Every structure is written in structure tokens, then in C-alpha cells.
Amino acid sequence: VGDALGDGEIEKRHARNDGIEHGVALVAQRLVQVEGVTMDDLANDIQEILLSESQIQQRVCELGGRISADYAGQNPLLLCVLKGGYVFLADLTRCLTIKHDVDFMAISSYGDGTESSGVVHILKDLDRDISGRHVLVVEDIIDTGRTLAYLLQNLRVRQPASLKVCTLLNKPSRREIHLDVDYTGFEIPDRFVIGYGLDFAGHYRNLRFVGVLKPEVYT
Ligand code: PRP
């Protein structure tokens, strides 16, 4: 493309790209301000915001309303899959209007990279028996489906009264194993996303939005 353009046009394009990047960084900075402190080192790593804080909050409360209606009188157990699910769980439960319990499992499949290793480890199991309970698994993201397929198989053996899945994000284009997902916040394209519980190398989980990192951050 560069060969076909004059120097002036190339400069204009660079300026325009710089402007877009600057704009994203400014928006990201505003969205990661906590009590007046701007987390520049996080904001500067963001290339694009896919889902804003308000989009997420609205959708999470819609899901909370549906779950409250569907599980009325059933005292479901919300099973949060750590670590990524903790932010979603915290907001989701505060949108529930029914009695419920929460418990946590820690499962790791990714290590510090951006691709699934395919190896699933249970790092922390549930505190209590779930036989006869209505269990709703709360995930931040379903990608290949390997983690959840393993988890559901493991949980079914424990004979819950019902077993359903709620995920904030779903990447259907990446699926390797078919899964029935009962509640989905957003279907997203095949991008490596961070924020709202999702990490890269342990960081960015605290961002209030879901975004995409600049490639130079992870290459
Ligand atoms: C992420 C996410 C899911 C899993 C989805 O967890 O929380 O559990 O990957 O990927 P899959 O559908 O391809 O199996 P991760 O292993 O990154 O751990 P974390 O939640 O502790 O960050």
C-alpha cells in the first residue's frame, strides 16, 4: 500500500492512526480511573474497548433478572469458576432477587499464555456436596469449551438436581467441544480479550470493561 501512496498521504494516515490510538487510550484511562487515580500503565496497553462498563452492567442485570425468575424458590448454588469468574459473579449475584448460595472452584487451563494448553487442573474444589442442589456454573468466558466440558463431566458425577451454565462471554467460532450454554452475556469474535475478570499473565482483571490489548503487549 505504501508504494502506491505519496509521502503526504502516508503521513496523514499515520496521523489518523495515532489519533485513533490516542482516543482509545484516553477513553481507557477514563474507564480505569479509581477514586481519582488514573492507572496509566493499564490504560496504555489497551488497543480497543469491546464492551463498555455500562453495556456489561446492563446485560449482567438482565441475566440476573432471568436467573431470578427461572430459579424462583429453588435456592440455587452459583458455582464460580476462578479466577476469571469472580468479577462477573460479584455483579451477577447483586442483580439476583432470590435466595442463593455461592461456592468456588479453581480450574486452570491456560497458564500464562493466550492459547488453551488443553490441560485442565482442579486447583480448588467445592467446599460442600452438591447432590440434589440446583447448580449454575458461572464462567467469564467459553472459548474452546474444553475447560467447561471437563468441569460439567466432573460435576454430573456428583448428582446435582440440575446443572446449567451462565457465561459472560462466548466465542462460538473457537468451539472444539459442543456445549449447551443456558445464559450468555455476549457472543464475541475471536480476539484475545482482557478485563472484567479476564487476565493476561495475571493482570488486567480489575478493568471495568472488556478490551483488547495492543499486540506488542503480548508478542
Ligand atoms: C479461562 C476461562 C475459562 C477457560 C475457557 O480460564 O476462565 O475457564 O479459560 O477456555 P476454554 O473454553 O478454551 O477451555 P483460565 O484458564 O485462563 O484461568 P483463569 O480464569 O484463572 O484466568
Q: What angle do CA 79, 146, 161 make, to 5 degrees?
A: 35
Residue with the smallest CA separation from ligand 1 atom 20 is: 84
Catalytic residue among 3, 140, 143, 180: 143
Please give the pLDDT value at position 181. 97
Banded pLDDT at 42 (limits 50, 70, 90): confident
pTM of the model: 0.84
Q: H or E stretch including 214?
A: none
Question: Does residue 147 line the site of ligand 1, with CB under 6 A?
Answer: yes
Contact 171, 198 (CB under 8 A): no
Task: Judge whether 140 counts as a catalytic residue.
Answer: no
DSSP 161-208: SEEEEEEEEE-GGG-SS----SEEEEE--S--EEBTTB-BTTBSTT-S
Q: What angle do CA 14, 20, 21 make, to 5 degrees?
A: 90
Q: How far apart are the first and last CA of the chain?
A: 24
Q: Which residue did the predictor score with more confidence, 11 or 73?
A: 73
* Cα 160 to middle of ligand 1, angstroms: 23
Q: H or E stretch including 33?
A: strand 33-34
